[in-house]
Amino acid sequence: MKKDTLSGNLPSTPVEQLLFSESGYHFHALNKGWRISKRILYWICQIGGWTTYGAYLTFLQSTNGNLSQQVLVDTVVTTLCLLVLSHFYRNYIVKNHWIKLLFGKLLLRIILTSFLLSLFFIPIALGITSLINQQYLQSQLTSSNLITSLLGGAFLFFSWSVCYFLYHYVSSYNRNLKWEALVNEFELNKLRSQLNPHFIFNALNTVNALIDEDPVKAKASVYQLSNILRNSLLMDKKKVIPFEEEFKIVRDYLALESTRFEERLKVEYHIQEESLQYKVPPLMIQTIVENGIKHGISKLKNGGFINITTKVDNDEVLVFEIRNSGQYKPIGKQEGYGLKSTIQRLKLLYNEKASFQIVNENQQVLTEIRIPKWNNADPVISST
């Protein structure tokens, strides 16, 4: 099995950067190379931020003439405790989906959690310090020091929370802007990416030829074409639709193409029932199928086949496997807009939790798409 790879220079435009990958159209590696992944960025900010705070404490002690070996040890212990506790706090935020909360509920939780973390932080830091120097610990156990430490710790965790949530809100806003821009571009290129003029022209010619030869089949073809056109107009502005609706469009489209190609086109479906309830980007599968017919089967003298398989992996991920006769041979930057649009929509909707790849496999083209469950409360399924 040989994966397709892109050739040429590194991308220069934002759209090309979203689509480019050293492993071809498989965009799990999009953030590798010249772009820092969110996980790495998180640890850079986490370690860098708390290290800067520790350096600031050391500087204050130095200017006050209180810098000593024990003070340095206490500062290191404090910095490490803050780093570890804030990391566990972040994991708790992600696990409990705090990003989705309204501002009022979120603010109350942040304030309460900041004080709770500070209550945990003080005994942990003092306990570690006591293992190093019992005498130094006793000098710190005064009511004024404990109250100051409690309030100071709560302020630090509150500040950390503000920075964390502010980053997420800004990122979400930017993704929504990108989505709106993509929708506008998607509409401008709708005929190219969804139902190209050649398909409509061929469909109408097929119907015209059937009117005298087989009126019943001609009537069915008109009905199928009208369904496809109507649904494409209704759905192209939605982010996701139930796969059951998408599957109806695909069946109408392939039934219409089967009328045109006759015995040159064979279609097989292997649809897991649970997959029908999953939500998918509208006309995503139809675009892949149309691409397979246009660039694969239509160019073969004896025609070929389309095989659509769906399965649910671990009750969490919907997997599409679309096979068609032919070979995948991308040529130039202008070819394959439908594929590029599909990849870009998956990237913006699901971030790195979805994947897309297209490969040549034994004189066949295999397109595999993996998407997670859609969460209505979170328009972009991602968290750092």
Q: Which pLDDT band holds residue 310 (cuts at 50, 70, 90)?
A: very high
Over residues 277-291, the mean pLDDT reads 88
Domain boundary (140, 175, 210) is at: 175
Query: Would 184 be classed as within a structural domain?
Result: no
Choose the most confident range, by mean pLDDT, from 57-71, 198-212, 258-272.
258-272
Q: Mind listing the pLDDT tens digit for each residue in 326-383? A: 988 876 554 566 787 788 778 878 878 899 999 999 889 999 999 998 876 544 444 4
Mean pLDDT over 122-137 rounds to 69
Asked whether residue 299 falls in the same domain as residue 159, the answer is: no
Q: Are 342 and 201 in a shared domain?
A: yes
Q: Exposed, middle or buried, 349 (CB in 10 Å: 0-12/13-18/19+)?
A: buried
Contact 220, 253 (CB under 8 A): no
Distance from C-alpha of 212 to C-alpha of 30, rounded to nearest angstrom:
54
Phi, psi of 44 (to 5 degrees): -60, -45
Same-domain status, 200 and 319: yes
Contact 366, 323 (CB under 8 A): yes
Sequence letter at residue 381: I
Q: Are residues 245 and 340 in the same domain?
A: yes
| Domain match, 43 and 29 both | no
Higher pLDDT, 143 or 246: 246
Range of the domain at 164: 38-175
What pLDDT is stored for residue 136 in this prediction? Answer: 58
Span of 4-18, 80-94, 97-111, 360-374 with lowest mean pLDDT = 4-18
Strands (E), 221-303: 241-242, 265-271, 279-280
More confident residue, 221 or 52: 52
Q: Is residue 183 part of a domain?
A: no
Asked whether 53 and 20 are in contact (CB, 8 A), the reply is no
pLDDT band at residue 188 under the 50/70/90 scheme: very low
Neighbouring CB atoms inside 10 A of 244's CB total 15
* Least confidently predicted of 47-51, 74-78, 175-179: 175-179
**Selection from 34-48, 83-97, 235-249 with the highest mean pLDDT:** 83-97
Indicate which CATH number applies to the domain containing 279. 3.30.565.10
| Residue 153 counted as domain residue | yes
Same domain? 134 vs 220:
no
Instruction: Give yes or no for a contact between 252 and 224, defined as CB atoms under 8 angstroms apart.
Output: yes
- Phi, psi (deg, nearest 5) at residue 367: -110, 120
What local confidence, expressed as pLDDT, does residue 339 receive? 81
What pLDDT score was predicted for residue 359?
92
Q: Which residues contact 170 (CB under 8 A, 6 or more apart)?
A: none
Same domain, 196 and 88: no
Is beta strand 355-360 parallel, antiparallel or unpaired with respect to 2-3? antiparallel
Q: With a cut of 80, say whether residue 68 has pLDDT above it.
A: no
Phi, psi of 351 (to 5 degrees): 55, -125
227-271 residue pLDDT tens: 877 777 766 567 788 999 899 989 988 988 888 888 899 999 999
Quick check: is 181 in a domain? Answer: no
Dist. CA 91–CA 248, nearest whole Å: 41
Q: Cα–Cα distance between 320 and 312 in angstroms, integer? A: 9
Q: Which amino acid would we find at residue 69? A: Q
Predicted confidence (pLDDT) at residue 109 exceeds the cutoff of 50:
yes
Q: What is the pLDDT of residue 5?
A: 37
> Residue 23 has what pLDDT?
34
22: pLDDT confidence band, cut at 50, 70 and 90? very low
Does 382 reside within a domain?
Answer: no
What 8-state DSSP symbol labels residue 13? S
38-54 average pLDDT score: 90
- Cα separation, 164 vs 160, whole angstroms: 6
Contact 115, 154 (CB under 8 A): yes
Range list of β-strands (E), 243-327? 265-271, 279-280, 304-313, 317-325
Residue 37 reports pLDDT greater than 60: yes
On whether residue 380 sits in a domain, the answer given is: no
Which pLDDT does position 145 carry in this prediction?
75
| Residue 88 pLDDT | 92
| Residue 378 within any structural domain of the chain | no
- Identify the pLDDT of residue 373: 86
Q: How large is the average pLDDT for residues 316-320?
A: 93
> For residues 303 and 297, is the Cβ–Cβ distance under 8 A?
yes
- 244 and 105 belong to one structural domain: no
CB 357, CB 319: distance < 8 Å: no
pLDDT above 90 for 321: yes
Whether residues 330 and 351 fall in one domain? yes
Buried b (16+ CB within 10 A) or exposed e, 286-304: bbbbbbbbbbbbbeeeebb
Listed residues 112, 145, 175: the one ending a domain: 175
Long-range contacts, stretch 67-73, CB < 8 angstroms, 24+ apart: 70/132, 70/133, 70/136, 73/129, 73/132, 73/133
Higher-confidence residue: 315 or 181?
A: 315
Residue 78 CB neighbour total at 10 angstroms:
23
What is the number of domains present in the chain?
2
Token reading at 258: 């089967």
Residues 222 and 121 in one domain: no
304-313 and 265-271: which strand pairing? parallel
**Cα distances (angstroms) measured from residue 25 to each of 18, 218, 309:** 10, 39, 20
Residue with tokens 């496997």: 321
**260 φ, ψ to 5°?**
-75, -45
Mean pLDDT, the chain, whole residue set: 78
pLDDT-above-70 percentage for the chain: 75
Burial of 322 (0-12, 13-18, 19+ CB in 10 A): buried
Are both 157 and 197 inside the same structural domain?
Answer: no
> For position 6, what pLDDT does the model report?
37
Residue 132 pLDDT greater than 70, yes or no: no
Coil vs helix vs strand at 279: strand
pTM for this predicted structure: 0.52
Are residues 248 and 311 located together in one domain of the fold? yes
190 pLDDT more than 70 = no
Last residue of a domain, one of 125, 140, 175: 175
pLDDT tier for residue 150 given thresholds of 50, 70 and 90: confident
Asked, for residue 171, whether it belongs to a domain, the answer is yes
